[in-house]
Amino acid sequence: MQSPVQKGVAFIAVLTISLTIAGCASTGGITPQARGIAPSSLDAGAAIRAANADAQWPAADWWRAYNDPQLNAWIDAAQAGNPTLAIAQARVRQAQSMAGVAHAALSPQVNGNLSVERQHWADNIYYGPGSLSNATTWDNTGTIGLSYHLDVWGKDKNAAQGALDAAHASAADERAAQLELEANVVRAYIGLSMNYALLDIARATLQQQQQIVDLATRRLNGGLGTQLEVSQAETPVPEYERQIDALEEQIALGRNQLAALAGKGPGAGDSITRPTLSLAAPAGLPSALPAELLGHRPDIVAARWTVAAQARGIDVAKANFYPDINLLASIGGYAAAGPLFQFLRSANGGWTAGPALSLPIFDGGRLRSELGAADAGYDAAVEQYNQTIVSALKDVADQVVRIRSLETQENDAERSVAAARKNYGLAKEGYRRGLTDYLNVPIAQNQLLRAQEGVARVQAERLGAHASLMTALGGGLADPSDGPNTEETLPAHGKGKAAAATTLTTPVSGSAAVSSQASAHPAAVQ
Q: Which pLDDT value is given to residue 494? A: 52
What CATH topology corresponds to 4-32+64-106+151-271+291-323+359-490+498-516? Outer membrane efflux proteins (OEP) (1.20.1600)
Q: Which pLDDT value is given to residue 295? A: 74
Integer Cα distance of 151 and 157 in angstroms = 7
Contacts of 376 (CB under 8 A, 6+ apart): none
Task: Give the residue from 215, 247, 254 showing the smallest Cα distance to 233.
Answer: 215
- Whether the Cβ atoms of residue 121 and residue 305 lie closer than 8 Å to each other: no
Burial class of residue 22, CB neighbours in 10 A (0-12, 13-18, 19+): exposed
Q: Which pLDDT value is given to residue 379? A: 92
Q: What is the CATH number of domain 108-150+324-358?
A: 2.20.200
Q: What percent of the chain has pLDDT over 70?
A: 76
Task: Give the residue from 451, 441, 427, 436 showing the smallest Cα distance to 234.
Answer: 441
Helix (H) or strand (E) holding 335: strand 324-336
Q: Which pLDDT value is given to residue 330? A: 87
pTM higher than 0.75 for the full model? yes
Per-residue model confidence as pLDDT tens digits over 410-457? 889 889 889 988 888 888 888 777 777 777 777 888 888 888 888 889
Domain ranges of the chain: 4-32+64-106+151-271+291-323+359-490+498-516, 108-150+324-358
Q: Which pLDDT value is given to residue 78? A: 93
- Whether the Cβ atoms of residue 135 and residue 97 lie closer than 8 Å to each other: no
The low-confidence residues of the chain, meaning pLDDT below 70, are 1-28, 33-34, 38-56, 124-130, 279-291, 293-294, 336-348, 478-481, 493-526
- Residue 194 CB coordination number (10 Å): 24
Q: For 252-265, what is the HEC assignment?
A: HHHHHHHHHHCCCC
Q: 3-state class of 111 per DSSP? A: strand
**What is the gyration radius of the CA atoms in the chain, in angstroms?**
38
Q: What is the DSSP string of 13-34?
A: HHHHHHHHHHHHT--TT-----
Helix (H) or strand (E) holding 174: helix 155-221
Per-residue model confidence as pLDDT tens digits over 375-400? 999 999 999 999 998 898 888 888 88
Q: Which pLDDT value is given to residue 381? A: 92
Q: Which pLDDT value is given to residue 520? A: 33
Report in angstroms the alpha-carbon separations of 505 from 107, 303, 433, 485, 502: 33, 19, 77, 8, 10
Task: Give the residue from 413, 483, 397 showing the smallest Cα distance to 448.
Answer: 413
Q: Which pLDDT value is given to residue 406? A: 87
Q: E-strand spans in 76-161? A: 109-120, 136-150
Q: How many helices (H) and strands (E) does the chain have?
A: 12, 6
Q: Which pLDDT value is given to residue 174? A: 92
Integer Cα distance of 213 and 217 in angstroms = 6
